[in-house]
Amino acid sequence: MKNSWLLVIFFLLTTLTSTAKQLPGNKPLPRVAIAGIAIESSTFSPAQTDEAAFHAHYGKDVLSGYPFFAEDSPMLKRATWIPTLTGHALPGGVVTREAYESLVNKTLDSLKKHLPYDGLFFDIHGAMSVIGLDDPEGDFITRIRKVIGTKTIISTCMDLHGNVSWRLAENTDLITCYRMAPHEDAMQSKERAVENLLERIESGKGKPRYKAYIPIPILLPGEKTSTRIEPGKSLYAEVAPAAAQRGIVDAAIWIGYAWADEPRNHAVVMVTGDDMDRVKRTAEKLAQKFWQVRNDFVFVAPSGSLQEALTNALASKVHPFFISDSGDNPTAGGAGDVTWTLTEILNNPAFSKEDGPSLIYASIPGADFVEKAIAAGVGQHVDGFAGAVVDSRFAPPVHLSGTVESIIYGDKDAEVEVAVKVGSVHVIVTRKRKPYHKEIDFTRLGLYPRKADIVVVKIGYLEPELYAMRADWILAITPGGVDQNLERLPYKRIKRPMFPFDKNMKDPDLSAKWVPLSDHLKRTEK
C-alpha cells in the first residue's frame, strides 16, 4: 500500500515536471534569462540621468514589455524564462554612477538566484554614457559573464545608434540591431534576437563559430541617416538578404552614437555565422558599401542656421512653416532647456507686435515661471524667466513678459503646461521638460499649429503628425547638447582619423577582424 502511494506520487510529480519543463522529445526546456537597460545619453550636455528615469521592470513584469512574450504566444512556450530587470529611459544626459551601479547590481543579484542558464537575451540600446566609466554596455556584459559563466549563449539586440565595443562583441555570441530609422522594426529586431537564440539552443548548434567585426571610422548624426531616404535606404536594404544566406546567422550595421566622446563611438559592421568564408565576405561587403556612400548622407530636411530658417519662414507663401530647434532636442539627449533659440526669436523685431506673424514655440521648462503664471491666472499679465537651469552655456534664462493664454495640468512629463503670448509669439512653458510630437499636445493648450504661420519645436526630424501637417520645414542647426553640426563639438577621445572631421583621410582597413568566441574569455581574463 505504502509503495503504491509512493508510485502514484512519483508518477504525478514526473508528469507535472515534464509538462512544465520539457519539450515533447523529453528534452528539458532551455532556461533563458532576460536583462538589459537602454538609454542614449549625451556627454556634451550638462544634464544627468538618475535611476528613476529608467522606469525599471522586475521579474515577470519584464515580459509585458514584449508582445512576442504575450500569454499563449508560441515563443513563451519554448523556454523557461527568467526575466531579471529591464529599464528604458528617454534620451538624456550622462547616467550617474550610482544609478548605473544600482541597476547593474540588481540585475546581477537576480541572475545569481536562478543559475544556471542556457541562454540570455541582452536587450540594450548601446549608447549609454555613465559618469567616470567608459563603454558601460561592455562593462555590464562582462559583469554578467562573471556571474553566468562562458557556456551560456548571450544574444544581444541593440539600436542601430548604439556602439559596439570589441569587449561587447567578445562577450556576446549572437548580436543584431534595428534595420530601420525611424525604428519601426524595433520589436521585430528584438524578436529576431530571441528567435536566433532559441534556434541555436534547440538545434544543439550552440554558439555561431564565427563573429566578424569591422569598425568603420564614420560618425554621423541620426538626422542624416534615415533609412527612408538614400543612401541609408539602399545601404540598410542589403542587411536582411545578407543575413538570410546559408551559413549566416545575422548581419548588422551600426551607425553609432555621435554625441558621446569615447573611443568606441564610430560605425560598426558585425556578421555572425558558421561559414567562415561567407561571414567574412558578407561583413566586408557591407562595410565597403557604407564607406563608399559616406559623403552622400545629408539631413532629412533642408537645413540651415536659425537666421536662415526664420528668414525663409517669414518669406514663405505656405504655412505652417516648421522649424526644428535641433541642437537641444530632448528626445535625442539634449537638456531641453537651452534658451538660445527662443531668445533669438523674441529679439527679432518681426515678432514684437501682438498682430505680427504668429509663431508657436514648443517648449521651454520653467518651474518658477509656471508658478507665476498660475498666480497671475489666465488672461492676466505675467513677467518672469524660464529655462537655462540645466544648460545655460549658450544663453541665460529667457525673459518672458506677456499674457497667460492657458494653463493645463496632469501631463505625465510636463505636469503643468502654460501658454504665454509675448508679442506675436505663443511660448509653451512647462514645469518639467516634455517633447511636443503630436497635434493634441498643442490643441490641448488652445494653440493651433495648422493655423500658425511658424511652428518651432525642439526636435530633430519631424514626428509623423507634425510631418503630415507641415507646409514647409527647415532643420535649424542650433546649439545644444545634441548639436547636429558635429564639427562644432569638442571631441577629444574618439579615434582619429574619423569621417567627416579629417578631410583627407586615407581609406581605412575594412577587412573583417575575428572576434574570439566567448568560451575563451576565462583564459583572457586571468
| Amino acid type, 189 | S
Which range, of 94-102, 159-167, 488-496, 498-506, touches Zn ion by CB under 5 A? Answer: 159-167
| Omega prior to 516 cis, within 30 of 0 | no
Per-position x/- string for 100-139, each x denoting binding to Zn ion as judged by CB under 5 A, each - no binding: ----------------------------------------
H or E element, residue 212: strand 210-216
Q: Does 159 bind Zn ion (CB under 5 A)?
A: yes
User: At closest approach, how far in Å is the CB of 81 from Zn ion?
Assistant: 26
Q: Which single residue brings its beta carbon nearest to Zn ion?
A: 161
Strands 119-123 and 454-457: unpaired
Which range, of 156-164, 246-254, 316-324, 401-409, touches Zn ion by CB under 5 A? Answer: 156-164
Instruction: Give CA–CA dist 524/1, Å, rounded.
Output: 59
| Omega prior to 500 cis, within 30 of 0 | yes
Q: Does 192 bind Zn ion (CB under 5 A)?
A: no
Does residue 518 contact residue 171 with C-beta atoms inside 8 Å?
Answer: yes
Q: State the Rg of the chain over Cα.
A: 26
Binders of Zn ion among residues 247 to 276 (CB under 5 A) are none
For residues 117 and 254, which CB has a smaller minimum distance to Zn ion in the complex? 254
In the numeric block, which cell numbers belong to residue 284? 566586408
Transcribe 288-333 into DSSP letters: HHHHHTGGG---SS-EE-HHHHHHHHHH-SSSPEEEEEGGG-TTTT
For residues 32 and 180, which CB has a smaller minimum distance to Zn ion in the complex? 180
User: At closest approach, how far in Å is the CB of 185 from Zn ion?
Assistant: 11
Which range, of 30-38, 154-162, 282-290, 424-432, touches Zn ion by CB under 5 A? Answer: 154-162
Exposure of 381 by Cβ count < 10 A (0-12 exposed, 13-18 middle, 19+ buried)? exposed
User: At closest approach, how far in Å is the CB of 499 from Zn ion?
Assistant: 20
For residues 267 and 427, which CB has a smaller minimum distance to Zn ion in the complex? 267
Long-range contacts of 518-525 (CB under 8 A, 24+ apart): 518/145, 518/150, 518/154, 518/170, 518/171, 518/172, 518/173, 518/207, 519/150, 519/151, 519/207, 520/150, 521/145, 521/150, 521/170, 521/171, 522/150
For residues 161 and 264, which CB has a smaller minimum distance to Zn ion in the complex? 161
Report the sign of the C-alpha dihedral through residues 26, 27, 33, 34, in that order: negative
Q: Does 179 bind Zn ion (CB under 5 A)?
A: no
User: At closest approach, how far in Å is the CB of 373 from Zn ion?
Assistant: 35
Cα-based torsion angle of the residue sequence 323, 368, 445, 357 in order, rounded to the nearest 10 degrees = -40
For residues 218 and 515, which CB has a smaller minimum distance to Zn ion in the complex? 218
Q: Does 161 bind Zn ion (CB under 5 A)?
A: yes
Instruction: Give CA–CA dist 218/235, Å, rounded.
Output: 14
For residues 163 and 348, which CB has a smaller minimum distance to Zn ion in the complex? 163
User: At closest approach, how far in Å is the CB of 183 from Zn ion?
Assistant: 6
User: At closest approach, how far in Å is the CB of 225 from Zn ion?
Assistant: 9
Residue 388 zone, left/alpha/beta (φ > 0; ψ -120 to 50; rest): left
369: helix, coil or strand?
helix
Instruction: Give CA–CA dist 486/497, Å, rounded.
Output: 14
Which range, of 6-14, 152-160, 487-495, 501-509, touches Zn ion by CB under 5 A? Answer: 152-160
For residues 57 and 161, which CB has a smaller minimum distance to Zn ion in the complex? 161
How many residues touch Zn ion under the rule CB under 5 A: the total is 2
Does residue 31 contact residue 201 with C-beta atoms inside 8 Å?
Answer: no
For residues 145 and 161, which CB has a smaller minimum distance to Zn ion in the complex? 161
For residues 137 and 159, which CB has a smaller minimum distance to Zn ion in the complex? 159
User: At closest approach, how far in Å is the CB of 159 from Zn ion?
Assistant: 4
Q: Does 145 bind Zn ion (CB under 5 A)?
A: no
For residues 158 and 212, which CB has a smaller minimum distance to Zn ion in the complex? 158
For residues 159 and 453, which CB has a smaller minimum distance to Zn ion in the complex? 159
User: At closest approach, how far in Å is the CB of 187 from Zn ion?
Assistant: 14
* Sequence-distant (≥ 6) Cβ neighbours of residue 461 within 8 angstroms: 182, 223, 226, 300, 301, 324, 467, 475
User: At closest approach, how far in Å is the CB of 426 from Zn ion?
Assistant: 31
Q: Which residues of the shown chain bind Zn ion in the complex (CB under 5 A)?
A: 159, 161
